[in-house]
């Protein structure tokens, strides 16, 4: 029986499962980590590939089910809670992430991926449609926000397809969206990441206000106080604008 507090909705459509797995390129990495394998609807297609598959699952019943029903899966595959991963055990090798994610921790999963982007060249996964759309959103839209800017600073995002509620057991309340992330850190970001995140978060936390107002909490450097971006709202700045602005800010600290 599905456990609601673990975000369990099991995908029942094999064609969709196969399409999600085929969203990965399987190039330039030898390892994959699946988040929340559940009863293994994606896992069985991953096991056909050359890459080694780690399984991050916290539900013991699912773990027992997977070990019992798939000869290739043993205790060795399991790595526990995805949000607790530090990826130390992969010894700096590259690893792709895949999953039909538990929707209660969607943003935390995405932030975890950004925190380890140097190890993660690719991610394909399903989120609630609204979150999937936010990651792919462009400036001057209502979906464009912290998640869009932080993800797109590190990854190219492509929205693959929408999935209807009725192909899950039990059906979730909302539609789902599958996205693909391909690592492509934007120029000028590296080394300025802490400040970049602070500026993006402060800007969108008061998204109706001009940046001259919303960024006051961060003590805008004197030399930047007449910067043209301060006259705009966060949603009017592109990802590259935010990065360029962060760089100038840092040079004037
Ligand atoms: N992959 C299966 C499928 O497509 O049918 C299950 C998907 S279900 C939406 C989400 C899965 O994530 C559940 O199996 C749940 O137990 C697991 N899960 C929940 N929180 C987790 C966490 N913090 N780390 C790893 N897995 C988690």
- How far, in Å, is the centroid of ligand 1 from the Cα of 97? 13
Please work out whether the CB of residue 236 comes within 6 Å of at least one atom of ligand 1.
no
How much distance in Å is there from the Cα of 102 to the middle of ligand 1?
5
Candidates 246, 181, 171; CA nearest to 4 is 171
Atom of ligand 1 nearest to the CA of 11: 5
Instruction: Give the whole-angstrom CA distance, residue 94 versus residue 50.
Output: 14
- The pTM (predicted TM-score) of the whole model is 0.96
The H-assigned helical ranges of the chain are 14-21, 43-46, 60-69, 106-115, 129-136, 146-154, 193-205, 211-214, 239-251
Distance 58 CA to ligand 1 centre (A): 8
CA gap 13, 251 in Å, rounded: 53
154-207, pLDDT tens digit by residue? Answer: 999 999 999 999 999 999 999 999 999 999 999 999 899 999 999 999 999 999
Express as a percent the part of the chain with pLDDT over 90. Answer: 98
Q: What is the average pLDDT across 25-32?
A: 97
What is the ipTM score, two decimals?
0.99
Ligand 1 mean position, distance from CA 113 (Å) = 16
């Amino acid at each position: 029986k599905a456990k609601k507090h673990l975000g369990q909705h099991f995908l029942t459509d094999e064609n969709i499962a196969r399409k999600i797995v085929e969203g990965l390129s399987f190039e330039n990495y030898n390892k994959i980590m699946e988040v929340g394998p559940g009863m293994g609807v994606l896992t069985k297609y991953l096991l056909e590939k050359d890459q080694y598959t780690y399984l991050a699952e916290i539900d013991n019943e699912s773990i027992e089910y997977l070990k019992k029903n798939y000869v290739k899966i043993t205790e060795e595959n399991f790595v526990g809670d995805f949000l607790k991963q530090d990826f130390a055990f992969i010894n700096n090798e590259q690893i792709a992430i895949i999953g039909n994610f538990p929707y209660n921790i969607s943003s935390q999963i995405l932030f975890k991926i950004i925190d380890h982007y140097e190890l993660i060249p690719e991610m394909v996964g399903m989120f609630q449609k609204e979150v999937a759309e936010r990651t792919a959103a462009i400036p001057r839209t209502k979906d464009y926000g912290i998640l869009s800017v932080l993800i797109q600073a590190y990854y190219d995002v492509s929205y693959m397809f929408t999935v209807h509620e009725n192909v899950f057991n039990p059906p979730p309340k909302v539609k789902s969206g599958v996205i693909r992330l391909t690592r492509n850190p934007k120029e000028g970001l590296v080394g300025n990441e802490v400040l970049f995140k602070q500026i993006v978060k402060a800007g969108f936390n008061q998204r109706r206000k001009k940046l001259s107002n919303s960024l006051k909490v961060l003590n805008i450097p004197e030399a930047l106080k007449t910067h043209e971006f301060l006259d705009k709202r966060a949603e009017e700045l592109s990802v590259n604008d935010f990065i360029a602005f962060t760089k100038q800010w840092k040079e004037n600290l």
